[in-house]
Amino acid sequence: MKEILDDPKKTSIRLVVNPEKMVIKETQRAFTFFSLFGYAVDLVIVNRLLPPEVRDTYFKKWKSIQATYQKMIKECFSPIPILTAELFSQEIVGVDLLNKLAEEVYGKKDPSQIFFTQKPISIEKTDGGFDLSLHLPFVKKKDLDLYQKGEDLFVRVGSYKRNILLPQTLLNFSIKDAKFDKDMLKISFIGVRPQ
């Protein structure tokens, strides 16, 4: 099961977000969680947008707020593709309405395709050792704890903790330093680790 979930060519996660501040924050947390554990997110769907035909003055302010949050969603999740779904006039229940929703979101696109690929974890050889890069969006340095013990690399982000079993290549190397480059945590391994 883990092999299937870890393979971004076979499995991806789609995040669905309403254009509301708290929902966006929760979606960012989910994205960080999935990235920490190496799961690929290939698409963001913005749900429950007020349709253009709603022109009532009561909803004018709501449309303005939604437009602001849509911009925030694009800034937060770029370069992941973003698709949208309008707010339906009724609850989405049953196959017919699900098909209608799928048609609105995907149009002529194949929903089973992978829309975006980004390796959550990569290892690159450097002059003095190796760099392990871990995609960690929305993480602040103060929320991060990182240490190596034997063949394990422990990464804690807030209350989430991941144990990464280091590949054979890195077993004789120690962490030299770690720094953020945009939303990638780059961990540099150097030299032979003391026994």
User: What are the extents of the domains in the chain?
Assistant: 2-106, 121-190
State the Cα–Cα distance between residues 146 and 194, nearest whole angstrom. Answer: 18
| Same fold across 2-106 and 121-190 | no
pLDDT score of 156? 94
Say if residues 148 and 92 touch (Cβ distance below 8 Å).
no
Grouping H, G, I as helix, E, B as strand and the rest as coil, residue 174 is: strand
Contact partners, residue 91, CB within 8 Å, separation at least 6: none
pLDDT score of 2? 80
pLDDT score of 118? 83
Taking phi over 0 as left and psi of -120 to 50 as alpha, with beta for the rest, 176 belongs to alpha
pTM for the model? 0.80
Helix or strand run (H / E) with residue 105: helix 95-106
DSSP 194: P
pLDDT score of 7? 84
pLDDT score of 171? 85
28-62 pLDDT per residue, tens:
999 989 988 888 899 999 999 999 999 888 899 99
- Listed as ranges, residues in the chain with pLDDT below 70 are 192-195
CATH class given for the domain over 121-190: mainly beta
Does domain 2-106 fall under CATH 1.10.10.10? My reply is no
